[in-house]
């Protein structure tokens, strides 16, 4: 097949490209080489020479139409995914570009047989909970006053009895709580509904936290793996926010790529949305231990720092049964992801510059707060 990957110079896109090339497909990438992911707007060295690379923005109709010509399938992975309060840009890049893909396919009668779009676990917000009587609820973000007191667990709203317990969350839930998650809900809806209406097989992939090499050191959203690995690399203990018992869901990039290829080939995936997660609940504290062990800091004993990030999800874990029903399952461990990331970090040009950038970014975002004592 002849395939277009938007955002194909990035983390998931470039690994997907490699796997498609290995299967004998032709790959074109449309990517604007955004900073800070691509410092100096340089084409990353890991991009395979067999890829036809087009530098351009997915919001540019002419560029997008050119890139869609003579293609059989599209992976739409380009996205704006920062924590910055430039709210409109999330919709501009993530949603309008998705609508434009369908507009061009329909208007120009392009013979594209599959569109696969990247969604995110951020569409779930705090995910599904049960109260003490087993009654389901979809909580809101935790109030600032509660967090300031160091009370981390989500409190039962009127009509529900505590304690609340997090549950694996299925694809039926949509409860986004930030601009990124809302844009991703809209992106999936555009793809699945326009796809169905115009007979263009479409699939939405809700990735959990994807881990592995090539993930930008500069992306604020790349979270715990980046931050903990950078700390350990510098000989500094990772900072644990809240009590470290937050549940997270990590998936190795090669497992995410296997899911991407499966839904390309399997018609049972058409017009469906899938969670792509690690199928294993891991606490932040456990993850910090894994990272420090791999970096050889075996005496490290993770302790809460008394700090927290306002707006963080307390617990989130995606139920991946639906995708497993098509024969996929995550095959790589968290340890393998961290090992591979460590090697990637060892090859980085300037770790000091990265840490300095991260510190500046965190200060500018003003999301890290201290518990009132």
Ligand X SMILES: NC(=O)c1ccc[n+]([C@@H]2O[C@H](COP(=O)([O-])OP(=O)(O)OC[C@H]3O[C@@H](n4cnc5c(N)ncnc54)[C@H](O)[C@@H]3O)[C@@H](O)[C@H]2O)c1
Q: How far is the CB of 202 from ligand X (least distance, A)?
A: 15
Eight-class DSSP state of 30: E
Contact call for residue 33 and ligand X (CB under 6 A): yes
Residue spans of alpha helices (H) in 92-222: 97-107, 144-148, 179-197
Contact call for residue 90 and ligand X (CB under 6 A): no
By CB under 6 A, name the one of 120, 123, 179, 252 that touches ligand X: 120
Going through 303-367 in order, the beta strands assigned E by DSSP cover: 304-309
Q: Which of 77-85, 130-138, 277-285, 353-361 is the region at the interface with ligand X (rule: CB under 6 A)?
A: 77-85
Q: How far is the CB of 206 from ligand X (least distance, A)?
A: 7
**Half-sphere exposure of residue 95, counting CA atoms within 13 Å on the CB side?**
17
User: Would the CA dihedral through 29, 31, 35, 40 be positive or negative?
Assistant: positive
Do the Cβ atoms of 64 and 100 come closer than 8 Å? yes
Scan for tokens 């510190």, then name that residue.
Answer: 359
Q: Between 209 and 354, name the residue whose CB sits nearer to ligand X.
A: 209
Q: 306: closest CA among 135, 172, 148?
A: 148
Do the Cβ atoms of 50 and 21 come closer than 8 Å? yes
Eight-class DSSP state of 279: S
Q: How far is the CB of 209 from ligand X (least distance, A)?
A: 5
Contact call for residue 17 and ligand X (CB under 6 A): no
Q: Binding residues for ligand X, how many (CB under 6 A)?
A: 29
Do the Cβ atoms of 12 and 75 come closer than 8 Å? no
Q: How far is the CB of 120 from ligand X (least distance, A)?
A: 4
Q: Between 58 and 232, name the residue whose CB sits nearer to ligand X.
A: 58
Q: How far is the CB of 312 from ligand X (least distance, A)?
A: 15
Q: How far is the CB of 93 from ligand X (least distance, A)?
A: 5
Contact call for residue 59 and ligand X (CB under 6 A): yes
User: Would the CA dihedral through 164, 168, 172, 178 be positive or negative?
Assistant: positive
Q: Which of 52-60, 136-144, 194-202, 313-321 is the region at the interface with ligand X (rule: CB under 6 A)?
A: 52-60
CA distances from 237 to 102, 142, 304, 321 (A): 48, 27, 11, 36
Q: Which of residues 205-234 bind ligand X (CB under 6 A)?
A: 207, 209-210, 216, 219
Q: Which of 56-64, 189-197, 227-235, 337-345 is the region at the interface with ligand X (rule: CB under 6 A)?
A: 56-64
Q: Which of 30-38, 131-139, 303-311, 312-320 is the region at the interface with ligand X (rule: CB under 6 A)?
A: 30-38
Q: How far is the CB of 183 from ligand X (least distance, A)?
A: 9
Scan for tokens 């080489």, then name that residue.
Answer: 33
Q: How far is the CB of 210 from ligand X (least distance, A)?
A: 4
Q: 101: closest CA among 90, 117, 119?
A: 117
| Neighbour tally for 63: CB within 10 Å | 16
By CB under 6 A, name the one of 3, 5, 9, 340 that touches ligand X: 9
Do the Cβ atoms of 38 and 14 come closer than 8 Å? no
List of residues 6+ apart from 58 with CB closer than 8 A: 6, 7, 30, 32, 64, 76, 78, 93, 97, 100
Contact call for residue 130 and ligand X (CB under 6 A): no
Q: Between 114 and 147, name the residue whose CB sits nearer to ligand X.
A: 114
Q: How far is the CB of 59 from ligand X (least distance, A)?
A: 6
Contact call for residue 171 and ligand X (CB under 6 A): no
Contact residues for ligand X, defined by CB under 6 A: 6-7, 9-13, 31-34, 37-38, 57-59, 77-81, 93, 118, 120, 207, 209-210, 216, 219
């Amino acid at each position: 097949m002849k395939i277009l990957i938007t955002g194909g110079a990035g983390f998931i896109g470039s690994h997907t490209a490699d796997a498609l090339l290995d299967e004998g497909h032709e790959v074109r990438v449309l990517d604007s080489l955004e900073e800070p992911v691509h410092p100096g707007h340089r084409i990353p060295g890991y991009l395979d020479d067999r890829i036809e690379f087009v530098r351009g923005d997915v919001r540019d109709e002419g560029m997008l139409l050119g890139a869609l010509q003579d293609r059989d399938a599209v992976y739409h992975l380009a996205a704006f995914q920062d924590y910055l309060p430039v709210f409109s840009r999330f919709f501009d890049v993530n949603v309008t570009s998705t609508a434009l893909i369908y507009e061009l396919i329909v208007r120009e009668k392009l013979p594209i047989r599959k569109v696969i779009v990247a969604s995110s676990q951020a569409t779930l917000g705090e995910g599904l909970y049960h109260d003490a009587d087993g009654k389901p609820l979809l909580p809101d973000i935790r109030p600032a006053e509660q967090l300031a007191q160091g009370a981390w667990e989500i409190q039962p709203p009127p009509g529900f009895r505590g304690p609340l317990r997090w549950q694996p969350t299925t694809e039926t839930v949509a409860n986004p709580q930030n601009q990124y998650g809302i844009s991703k809900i809209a992106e999936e809806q555009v793809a699945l509904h326009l796809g169905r209406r115009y007979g263009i097989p479409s699939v939405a992939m809700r990735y959990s936290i994807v881990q592995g090499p090539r993930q930008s050191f500069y992306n604020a959203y790349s979270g715990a793996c980046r931050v903990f690995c950078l700390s350990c690399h510098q000989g500094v203990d990772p900072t644990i926010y809240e009590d470290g018992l937050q549940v997270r869901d990590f998936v190795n990039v090669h497992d995410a790529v296997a899911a991407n290829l499966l839904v390309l080939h399997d018609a049972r995936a058409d017009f469906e949305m899938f969670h792509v997660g690690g199928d294993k609940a891991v606490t932040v504290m456990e993850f910090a231990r894994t990272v420090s062990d791999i970096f050889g800091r075996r005496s490290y004993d993770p302790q809460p720092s008394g700090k927290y990030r306002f707006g963080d999800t307390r617990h989130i874990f995606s139920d991946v049964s639906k995708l497993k029903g098509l024969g996929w399952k995550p095959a790589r461990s968290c340890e393998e992801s961290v090992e591979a990331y460590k090697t990637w970090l060892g090859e980085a040009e300037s770790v000091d510059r990265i840490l300095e950038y991260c510190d500046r970014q965190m200060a500018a975002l003003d999301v890290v707060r201290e518990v009132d004592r």
